[in-house]
Structure 1
Amino acid sequence: MDGKTIKLNVSGTCFELSQTSMTKLLETKSEATETLLKLKKDNNTEVFFERHPGIFPSILGYLQGREMHFPSSVCVGEFLEELKFWGIDTKYISKCCLSKVVTFTDEQKTLQIMEKDQNVKDEKRTELLKKVEGKQSWERIQARGWLVLEEPSTSVLAKIHVLIEYNEAMETVNILET
C-alpha cells in the first residue's frame, strides 16, 4: 500500500486511486474504510468491493476534488446508499443534482405517510369486519353502516351509496352552474 496508486475493483470494474484520494476515503470512517484498513495491514495493492460500478466514478471524482454528480441512469435511493457505504455526506453533492435528492427525500416521506395511513385504514377495516361477524346485533349494524360509508367495495349497498352520493354532487354542480 506504500505504492503510488491503489487498485479498487468495484464489481469487476477496476479503478486506481492516488494516495491523496485514498487518504480522503480513509478519513470517511465508513464500511469501506474497514476493508481498506485491512488492505493496508495486509500490504495489498488491490481490493474488491461488490458495489455498483456505475456509481463509483462519481465518488472517485469527488475524492479527486471535483464536484459529485450522479448518473441519470441510477436511482437516487441507490446513489444515496452508495454514498452511505463510502462514508460521503450528501452535502457534497453538486447543486445541480441536489434538487433530485430533495425531491426523492420528500417523496419517500410522503410514501411513508401514505403507507402508515393505509395500515391504519386496513386495521380499522379489519376491526369493522370482526364486528360484523360479532354476536351483538347493534355492533354488527353499526359496523356494516361504517363499511357502507367508508368502504365502497365491500358490498352492493356500499356501491349504490357511492353512486347516489356522486349523483347528488353532480346535481348540485348543475344547479350552481345555472
Structure 2
Amino acid sequence: MWTIPKPNYRSDFCAEGEIAVNIGGVRTVLFGDVLNRYPESRLAELVNCSTENYEAISSLCDDFDPGRKEFYFDRDPDAFKCIIDVYYFDEIHIKRGICPVCFIKEMEFWKIDQSVLDECCKSYLSEKQDELTEIASKVKVILEDLEVDRCITRTQRCQRFLWRLMEKPGSSLPARIIAIASFLSILVSAVVMCVGTIPELQLTDSEGKLVEHPTLEAIETVCMLWFTTEYLLRLASCPNKLHFALSIMNIIDFMAIMPFYVVLSLTYLGTTSMMELANVQQAVQALRIMRIARIFKLARHSSGLQTLTYALKRSLKELGLLLMYMSVGIFVFSALAYTMEQSHPETLFRSIPQSFWWAIITMTTVGYGDIYPKTTLGKCNAAVSFLCGVIAIALPIHPIINNFVVFYNKQKVLETAAKHEVELMELKSGRDARRKSRN
C-alpha cells in the first residue's frame, strides 16, 4: 500500500530529489516529487532550479548553502507547517493562534493560491477581514475628528467644526454638552406632552374647552425652538445635503418639528373656521410622540444601542421561528377554545377571530382576564396554551443574548484596536518628523 511521504525535520543531508529548507531556524527536508504537485509554488521552483544558477536561487530564498543543499527563509515556521500540508493533503487549515491575515501573506510568499484553504478557514478569514475593514473605518472617523485643520478655507473649517459639534459628542466637551442638552430637551418635551393631558393641569378657554396650561405651552415652545435650531445647524454643516435629507432619523426630526409650525400658522392666519383646530391638534399630538424616536439618533455614539440592534438583526431567524410558533399556537388554541366553550350558555368566545385575542394574551402570559374559559375542557386548553407559550418564548432567548454578548465584546475590542492603531500612527509620524529635523 502506497503511503504519503512525510517531511523530515531531523535529517542533516539531502538525498537525490530532496531539498532542505530552513524556516526561521527550523530545518525541514522535503521530497521533490511531492513539491512538484504544485509546480507554480516557490518550493517547486527551488526543486527545479539548478544549484549553479545563484541569481535565480537568491530571488527565491534569503540564503543558500550549496554543500548541504539547504535553503534559508526568514519566515514564520508555524505558518510554514500549515503551508506544506497542501502538498500532501491538497488543502490548508489555519492553526489556532496564527493571524489569518498574516497567513494569507505567507501563502502569497510561497505562491499558494487561496482556493486551497478549507471552507471553515475561508469563513474565519472573511470574518477577520470584515473586522479589519471596520477597524479601518473607525480609524478614519477618528482621524477626521483630529484633522480639522486640513480644510483649505475658513468656511470649510467652520463647517467641519460645526458638524463635529452637532453630530459627534465624543469629539469635544462642548459637543458632549450639546448632546446632553438635546437628550434632555427630548425628555422634557416628552414629559410635557404627557403631563399636558392631565385634566387637573388643563385650563378652560372662552368656548369651554380644555386647553394646555400656558406654562407647559411655553416649555414646549422653547423645546421646539431648540429642535429647530439644532436641525438647521446640522443641515447647514452637513457635508452631503441629499444624504442628510433622506436619512430616516432626520426625516423623523423634520416630522416632529413641522406640526408645531403648522398649528402656529393656522392659529395666526385665522383658518380655524375652515378646519377643526381640535382635530388638527389631535393629529399634531399624535405626531409629537415621534420626537421620542429621536433618542435613537444617539445610537451612533452608544455601543449598547448598536449592539442591541445588531443582536436583533442577527436573531431574525430565531424571532421568525418564534412568530411562526406563536401564530400556529394562537390559531389552534383559539379554535379549540371557541369549540369547547360553545356548550356554556354564558360563553365569552363569540367567534374564532375574537378568540385570537384570548390566545395572544394567554400564550404571552399577560392574561388580562377580560376573556376567560368557563368549561373544564376550556380551562385545560388554556393551561396547555399557557405552557406552550412559555416554551415558545423561552427558546430563542439564549441565541439572542449570546449574539448580544458576542457583538458587544467584539465592538469593545475593535474600538480599542482602532485607538491603538491611531496611537501607532501618531508615534510613527512623530518619529519620522524627528528624523527629518535631524537630517
Same fold flag (TM > 0.5): yes
- Distance between the aligned counterparts of 2:136 and 2:94, measured in 1? 25
Give % identity: 22
Change (3 A) 1:145 1:74: closer
Aligned to 1:20: 33
Q: CA deviation at 1:62?
A: 0.6
Aligned to 2:93: 69
Change (3 A) 1:18 1:38: closer
Aligned to 2:300: none
Bigger drift between 102-111 and 44-53 goes to 102-111
Q: Could you tell me which of 142, 154, 165 is aligned with 1:131?
A: 154
Q: Could you tell me which of 73, 86, 91 is aligned with 1:49?
A: 73
The count of residues paired between Structure 1 and Structure 2 equals 166
Q: CA deviation at 1:10?
A: 0.6
Letter matched to residue 51 of structure 1? R
What is the DSSP-based 3-state SS (H/G/I as helix, E as strand, rest coil) of the residue aligned with 1:14? strand
Q: CA deviation at 1:108?
A: 2.6
On the 8 A contact 2:90/2:116 being kept in 1, the answer is: no
Q: Which aligned segments of 4 or more residues in structure 1 are displaced greater than 6 angstroms? A: none
Letter matched to residue 4 of structure 1? G
Give the alignment's TM-score, normalised by structure 1. 0.71
- Distance between the aligned counterparts of 2:19 and 2:189, measured in 1? 74
Q: Could you tell me which of 11, 22, 25 is aligned with 1:9?
A: 22
Q: CA deviation at 1:37?
A: 6.5
On the 8 A contact 2:145/2:171 being kept in 1, the answer is: no
Change (3 A) 1:41 1:154: closer
Aligned to 1:108: 132
Q: Could you tell me which of 146, 149, 158 is aligned with 2:175?
A: 158
Aligned to 1:40: 50
Change (3 A) 1:119 1:7: same
**Bigger-Rg structure (1/2):** 2
Q: CA deviation at 1:114?
A: 3.6
On the 8 A contact 1:6/1:22 being kept in 2, the answer is: no
- Distance between the aligned counterparts of 1:103 and 1:85, measured in 2? 22
Bigger drift between 165-174 and 50-59 goes to 165-174
Q: Could you tell me which of 96, 101, 104 is aligned with 2:120?
A: 96
On the 8 A contact 1:7/1:46 being kept in 2, the answer is: yes
Q: Is there any run of 5+ residues in structure 1 with no aligned partner, and where?
A: 133-138
- Distance between the aligned counterparts of 1:71 and 1:143, measured in 2? 46
Change (3 A) 1:63 1:152: same
What is the DSSP-based 3-state SS (H/G/I as helix, E as strand, rest coil) of the residue aligned with 1:162? helix
Q: CA deviation at 1:22?
A: 2.6
Q: Which has the higher contact order (CA 8 A, sep 6+)?
A: 1
- Distance between the aligned counterparts of 2:30 and 2:177, measured in 1? 69
Letter matched to residue 183 of structure 2? Y
Letter matched to residue 19 of structure 2? I
What is the DSSP-based 3-state SS (H/G/I as helix, E as strand, rest coil) of the residue aligned with 1:55? helix
Q: CA deviation at 1:117?
A: 4.3
Aligned to 2:285: none
Q: CA deviation at 1:163?
A: 1.6
Aligned to 1:135: none
What is the DSSP-based 3-state SS (H/G/I as helix, E as strand, rest coil) of the residue aligned with 1:41? coil
Change (3 A) 1:110 1:173: farther
Change (3 A) 1:62 1:163: same
Aligned to 2:106: 82
Letter matched to residue 17 of structure 2? K
On the 8 A contact 2:21/2:28 being kept in 1, the answer is: yes
On the 8 A contact 1:55/1:82 being kept in 2, the answer is: yes
On the 8 A contact 2:85/2:91 being kept in 1, the answer is: yes
